[in-house]
Amino acid sequence: MTRATAVPETVTIHVPFRIVKRGGRKEMQLPDRVRPERTPDSTLVKALARAFRWKRMLESGEFATIAELAEREGIATSYMTRILRLTQLEPGIIEAVLDGRQNDAVTLARLMDPFPMSWIEQKNTFLGT
pLDDT digits (tens, 9 = 90+) for 31-56: 766 665 677 888 999 999 999 999 99
Output the pLDDT for position 34: 64
Confidence of residue 64 (pLDDT cuts 50, 70, 90): very high
Rounded to whole angstroms, how far apart are CA atoms 92 and 128?
12
Rounded to whole angstroms, how far apart are CA atoms 54 and 56?
5
pTM: 0.70
Determine what percent of the chain is predicted with pLDDT higher than 70: 91
Mean pLDDT of the chain: 86
- 73: CB partners within 8 A, 6+ apart: 54, 80
Confidence of residue 129 (pLDDT cuts 50, 70, 90): low
Rounded to whole angstroms, how far apart are CA atoms 54 and 104?
26
Rounded to whole angstroms, how far apart are CA atoms 39 and 22?
12
